Structure 1
Amino acid sequence: MNSNLLQITTIPISIEIKVTNAKYQYPEGKDRQPKVNITNTQGGYVMKADPIKVKIDTYEARKSLGYGHMTDGDMMSKKAQDGFSLAFQGTARVASEGNMLARGMTASEIAIQNARAGATVETIMEFLPKEGADITFDGGTLSIDYDMGEQEIDWDTVNELPMEFVPGSVELIVRDRPRVEIEYLGEPIYFPASANPNYKPPVLDIKG
């Protein structure tokens, strides 16, 4: 068997064709988008309020106590003096009741004696007015004046849209050149044959 073999490979040429179509396009750097300007005017409101007025007439209350001819200041001064008098009378009554208890009287006996003396709840209530104050209200007002805001929109449109023509092109790119590759597939060839490490010399027939 002949082990000296050659493998021959033929590789054809490889070509890429790149085609760019012609087209129309807008020039770069041109602003083709419409613009809009919005101006806002802020609104507001003005509020005016007149508070409620309260009128208090104490004439009938003063009259029921016998002080209709007095002013509020005079009546307060008189009531203060009456209050001091009642306080002194109360202090004297407490001291008197203490002496009664010290003499051996019981609480019920002291209450009966005070009732006979006229110290009743009705007597104390005479210090309070029999008529109330006359209170009237003057209703207030509230007015609100509202001023609506405004919004103004201004459109800036583009009237002309210039375009430019870009021509097409065809580009040939050689990816692989044609060639022939030769590859030896056999074993190494030694010369002389004795150079082969596996060489075995022929055996001589000495019997012949």
Structure 2
Amino acid sequence: MQLLSIHTIPLRYEIHCEPARLEMKDASAQPVASAKTQSPKLTQHLAQSQIQMDGYEMRKAFGLLNNTDFAKSRADDGVQNIQDVTQNNVDVGKQLSHIEKGVTISDIVKQKALQQPTYVTVFLPNGGTKISWTPAQAENQYDAGSTSYDWETNRPEYTYIPGSFSMKITQWPRVEIEYLGGFSYVPPSANPDYEEEITAE
């Protein structure tokens, strides 16, 4: 008679495995170009012809001086006047030093009075007009224009998703032992189901 019932329950588990993958965003985006165009341009600078007439030398002959020449002329006249007066005084002094030779003061004064001034013949105006001429000029500057492109490329974004591995145990292994026999009572009368046997005489 078999008294024990032994059952072995194996281990049960679930495995979930997801491989690694690489995801790319905006893979269909196309590059975009923005163009900047500068139109051709022609720039022209014109300078008119000019005639310059300088009549200062002619005006200078009539005594119409500018400030610089006027100051220089007055200074030269002052120096010349001082030299003339000095020379005159020297000459008079020399003549007075010969009084013993019969020269009298009245003779000196008379000589000075009869002295004729020096004249210089000058034809006015003695200076002409300076004429200068600048021809007309035309300067052309041509800009051929340009076109520039600015490319904007959208770089795709990559996202790396690592793989995953998971295991779930749904049933742990075990051994179940079931006793199929009954209990042994000593003495037998200790069994709750014990019934005493009655023998007939």
TM-score between the two structures when normalised by the length of structure 1? 0.27
Between structure 1 and structure 2, the one with the greater Rg is: 2
TM-score between the two structures when normalised by the length of structure 2? 0.28
